[in-house]
Structure 1
Amino acid sequence: MGKHVIIVGGGATGVSLFSTLSGVTGISSISIVDPNPVGLGTAFGTTDPLLLCNTSVDVTSMDPNGESDLLGYLTGRGWPVHRDDFVPRYLIGQYCRERFLERRREAEQAGVRVRHHLSRAQAVSPIGAEGYAVELADGRRLCGTDVFLCPGLDRPVIPDVVRDHLGNPALAVSPYPVEGLRRLPENSRVLVLGSKLAAVDAALVLGRARHRVVMASGSGTLPAVRTRLRRPETPRLDTVAWSGLSPDSPSLERQVTRLVLTAVAQAANGTALRSQTSVAARPAERLAEELEIAMTGRAHWQDTIAEIIQTVNDISAAWRHTTRSAVLNQYRHLISRYISAIPVRNARLLLGHLTDGTLSVVPGIPQSVLPSRGGSGWQVRWDGAPAEHFDHIVCAAGYHKPALSRLSDGTLRLDGASGPRTDPYISSELRVCDPLTGKPERVWVLGAASHRRTAIVNYLNTAARQSKAVADRFAAAKPETTSLVGRLA
């Protein structure tokens, strides 16, 4: 009897895993659980060509090795793209969707039963020696021998200042889908809470319609600007030195800083780091300077980013979660600005809106937000300033990482429900382990769900590398006898 696989999440990570697992021998069925069409998750489900992926074609591929599979897909369909290009996100959604349909057809021709269940997974429960039951939000129960958790980022962060107003039609909990932003009345005044990638998307969509936008965040800073993000042809990092890092060293953060700066210096061929970035205080001035630096080929730091992400993920995988989190927190500002930098085209558009006065960026979150008298819009007050009127508010402060917790009976909750629970232990092979024996279970976590083991997860190349490694181990594992038939109970 073959294995019955359940993949929770049908976004890019789930498709990447499905693409590698679908050709593994010994699998009888694969079930995908996702309330959305497979391949069209939050990140790549948009249809607006204005919204670009902020990673280049080279690293935005479901195959982490060799030439970008996305590059081959696009050029094969007549798109004149280069490995360094940033393409509209809807193209990546199409790529994921078509790759899924292709691999599904191949798997079914090989006798594998493939099903997509349009629901949300809430829990995974062990069912003796037989395997696991995945509880669905619609009340169904899907049974399988092996479960792979690949949920995406779909729970938006709601700033406390607006939490009491959830449900108000003049408050959007997320910029997506952007069709909601397009329906705003002409010449609206909009407050966007956030200043990073989701907020940039919101500002671009609203700016195109000539709305007046204020972006507000604790930092009040925009991402840096880059012209590419690609894998290096020649490694620049000192892998021996990185491998020698001790998570228990009191100087760990200083050592990481030194290794990163050394790599940047090598990429820059002696160009000083201070000439690769801007320290201007005003957002418009800083954006203009960093746009000019990128366009004149002086943003050498960008050519170390892909290698740094991979190295940090690999090296820190063996660290304790608390150590990894502490180090990442020290570099949170750098991660949000440089690892999550924006393409030149987006920077140009933002700068145009800043220059013509339809966009402004302010540091700090409002002290209070109250519905305007009469029920039209909002009265927003910053500390020490008079109240301002806004017609609409958009939350764009990012997304919560997937919640995964274990109950006393061994059940894994995926929905963040309240009650006594513990954080599950995730092995270096991305498997959930029994808390008493340490024995790995037949439950894996990938992509955003692996954040307790993997440092930087919001990156398709990371998910693709995880998918290949997990599928290879899965294929090499000894077959186990099972009486499951991949059924719904």
Structure 2
Amino acid sequence: MERDIVIVGAGATAISVFVRLVECDGIAGIRLVDPRPAGLGTAFGTTDPALLCNTSADVTSLDPEGASDLVAHLASRGWPVAPGDFVPRFLVGQYCRERYQDARRRALARGIRVEQVRARAVTVEARSAPGGRYGVVLDDGTRLGADDVLLCQGLERPNVPALVRPHLADPRLLASPYPVGRLTALPTSARVLVLGSKLSAVDAALVLCRDGRNVTLASRSSQLPAVRTRLVRPVHPRDEAPADPGGAGGAGGDATGLDAFARHVRRQPAPGAPGARARLDHEAALAAAGQVPWQDRVAEVIDRVNEVTADWSPADRAAVLARHGEPVSRYISSIPLRNARLLQHHLAKETLVLADGFPSSVTAGPGGWRVRWADGSEGHFDHIVCATGFLRPTAVVRPGEAALHLDGPGEDRGVGEAREPEVTGRLRLRLAPGGPEERIWVLGPSAHPRTAIVNYLRTAALHARDVAAQFTGPTPTSAAATEPAAPGPYPAPAPVPTAVSALQEGPTP
């Protein structure tokens, strides 16, 4: 019996597994559920050329094996890109769009029905019997029947600091920098406080300062990311033997490679003066001189951390990451040299200021925001932008219910006594403790219960490879004949854009 698959999400993670599934036998149809255009999620759904990927083209590929598929794709369209280059994010979004359309054509030629449902999935109802079908319930009340469900939710729920949560209804507060069209809509004379100083805060600063707005970055760490010139896979993996290959947490920390990476980072010369700006200048100079050898270990360390810690408890995994807080937060998540130079430019023009600490209070008034700092001084701003990252997507089971509840971009459906289901080594869920493996998979950010570093396309592509491989074996018995797949037929295929028109197409705000 041929199977119907529902993929929750249509961003890069979903496209990575979709292009593999259409080559599998025994599949009748695939539905992708996402209100946004396929391939254009939070990370790559932008047309703003100011936003570069923070990972090089070598590892920003839907296929984790061999030479970078992204590099080949861009080269075929006249973009001279090397594996170590940081490319504009809109190019990756259009790459995902075109790979989706290519795979869709192949699927239709093989008789596989394909549809994108422009809605959000809110619940996955359990099968009523072994071999039965799941029900994927959408926010418009539609129910899709599925033999297999793949959860490819991205990072959508902003992590809003408690300090400003009471003001979320105020239009002068943005819970996230994305989509960045909301930033460019602010008056060019605006004074903007950006909460955060890591990757999304750097994005916000570059977009806001470009048109002359006055921006202040404020974070608890008062530190910017480190600076690198590439992030590529090593030609010859080092695979150093761990000093202590023991269990989890502190004892087995070196098995992850983080101890060795931290030692390597500490060999970098220290800046001659304190403060985030002096450190930015120092690290940008080192990167420009090619003196950042730690950068060529990052890709290998991420892969190793994810592999070694997959079977650890969440507490042990969190502990080893916390023990290496600076290497993870500043060096693994570092910024391209081009972005560092732009920050230096805006700092020199004094359109950008790096605050020394985080606000102690924020008060809304008719003239804007009054911000009090830890030293008792005050500042006044027209707008506040939260750039403090995103909450990982959750899928929870509530007591007494045979259903999986999914969170959305503005809410958390995991309430009360709800618990996260177990994720097995095959990235499949067990809805009940000790219960059977369901035909529900988690990939990319949705796989965070087993994967330490998920905000990385290569991680999602590795998940897609491993999950799709599970569809190449014997097809399990399906009860598809007992329940309609979904209301109405799959629609006729829409026209496929040409390479040129696809590159010009922008995401839906």
TM-score range relative to shorter protein: over 0.9
CA contact (8 A) 1:207 1:353 kept: yes
Q: Which residue of 2 aligns with 1:486?
A: 485
Match of 1:143, SS?
Answer: strand
Q: Which residue of 1 aligns with 2:374?
A: 383
Q: How far apart are the structure 1 equivalents of 2:297 and 2:15?
A: 28
Q: Which residue of 2 aligns with 1:460?
A: 457
Deviation at 1:376, TM superposition (A): 2.6
Deviation at 1:56, TM superposition (A): 0.2
Q: Which residue of 2 aligns with 1:241?
A: 242
CA deviations on 1:280-336 (whole Å, 9 max, x unpaired) are 421111001001111111100000000000011111112122211221222233211
Q: Which residue of 2 aligns with 1:437?
A: 434
Q: How far apart are the structure 1 equivalents of 2:465 and 2:273?
A: 43
Greater CA drift, 352-361 or 276-285: 276-285
CA deviations on 1:134-155 (whole Å, 9 max, x unpaired) are 1111111111000000000011
Match of 2:29, SS?
Answer: strand
Kindly indicate whether residue 178 of structure 2 is the aligned counterpart of residue 185 of structure 1. Answer: no
Q: How far apart are the structure 2 equivalents of 1:138 and 1:279?
A: 58
2:472 to 466, 472, 475: 475
Kindly indicate whether residue 403 of structure 2 is the aligned counterpart of residue 399 of structure 1. Answer: no
2:268 to 275, 280, 287: 275
Q: How far apart are the structure 1 equivalents of 2:20 and 2:284?
A: 39
Distance 1:250 1:231, change over 3 A: closer
Q: How far apart are the structure 2 equivalents of 1:116 and 1:261?
A: 44
Q: How far apart are the structure 1 equivalents of 2:368 and 2:248?
A: 52
CA deviations on 1:80-130 (whole Å, 9 max, x unpaired) are 110100000000000001110110111011101111111111111113131
Q: How far apart are the structure 2 equivalents of 1:248 and 1:282?
A: 35
Distance 1:296 1:384, change over 3 A: closer
CA deviations on 1:10-47 (whole Å, 9 max, x unpaired) are 00001101111111100001011101011000000011
| Residue pairs, 1:348-363, within 5 angstroms | 348-363=341-356
Give the aligned length: 478
Structure 2, unmatched stretches of 5+, are: 489-509
Structure 1, unmatched stretches of 5+, are: none
Distance 1:453 1:341, change over 3 A: same
Kindly indicate whether residue 95 of structure 2 is the aligned counterpart of residue 102 of structure 1. Answer: no
CA contact (8 A) 2:193 2:216 kept: yes
Q: How far apart are the structure 2 equivalents of 1:363 and 1:429?
A: 45
Deviation at 1:369, TM superposition (A): 1.1
CA contact (8 A) 1:264 1:304 kept: no
Q: Which residue of 2 aligns with 1:335?
A: 328
- Letter of the aligned partner of 1:53 in structure 2? C
CA contact (8 A) 2:262 2:327 kept: no
CA contact (8 A) 1:191 1:390 kept: yes
Q: How far apart are the structure 2 equivalents of 1:248 and 1:393?
A: 40
Greater CA drift, 405-414 or 197-206: 405-414
Q: How far apart are the structure 2 equivalents of 1:378 and 1:24?
A: 56
TM-score (norm 1): 0.94
Q: How far apart are the structure 2 equivalents of 1:277 and 1:173?
A: 35
Q: Which residue of 2 aligns with 1:365?
A: 358
Q: Which residue of 2 aligns with 1:31?
A: 31
Q: Which residue of 1 aligns with 2:159?
A: 157
| Residue pairs, 1:287-366, within 5 angstroms | 287-366=280-359
CA contact (8 A) 2:15 2:100 kept: yes
Deviation at 1:364, TM superposition (A): 2.8
Match of 1:115, SS?
Answer: strand
- Letter of the aligned partner of 2:115 in structure 1? R
**How many percent identity over aligned positions?**
47
Q: CA RMSD in A?
A: 1.9
Q: How far apart are the structure 2 equivalents of 1:485 and 1:466?
A: 30
